Structure 1
């Protein structure tokens, strides 16, 4: 005898298997990217200045993608110091009593 909810559990299990498989594929792709990056770094570190210059001239597209825009410098504005609000209250009180 099959239970009423048996089909749902099977679909749920298949969905979980697909999620695990996609995560494994993604993990493998990331591992490959890391290995490629490590080999590229080793290649660049082993080059002398002339070889690096030639590499940069031949791979302009890669260099353009790697450029990061410079952050804009913040201009500090000089502000006038604000008068103390407590002294304004004191002066108002003094003027009120002085006028009487």
Structure 2
């Protein structure tokens, strides 16, 4: 079964890298966006299993996104990922999913 992961980050270049990393694993489907509006739209249209919040998201936006996502899909797993390589990313995702 494939895990669908929504990544939200403000840096376009990092978002491109995250898209590559998330979609490199056959068990993951990564959807990567840079704006809150895109994130909410994707979240409404797709079945998301995990949300990754990347760098550049301020506390106010983070809280608003968490609240919105939880109102749509209560209990959705939301974690922060600020970089550190593909091994760390894998570990964070696997920990969150277990």
Fold agreement, TM-score > 0.5: no
Please give the range of the TM-score, normalised by the shorter of the 2 chains.
under 0.3
- Greater strand proportion: 2
TM-score, normalised on structure 1? 0.20
- Greater helix proportion: 1
Structure with greater Cα Rg: 1
Q: Which has the higher contact order (CA 8 A, sep 6+)?
A: 2
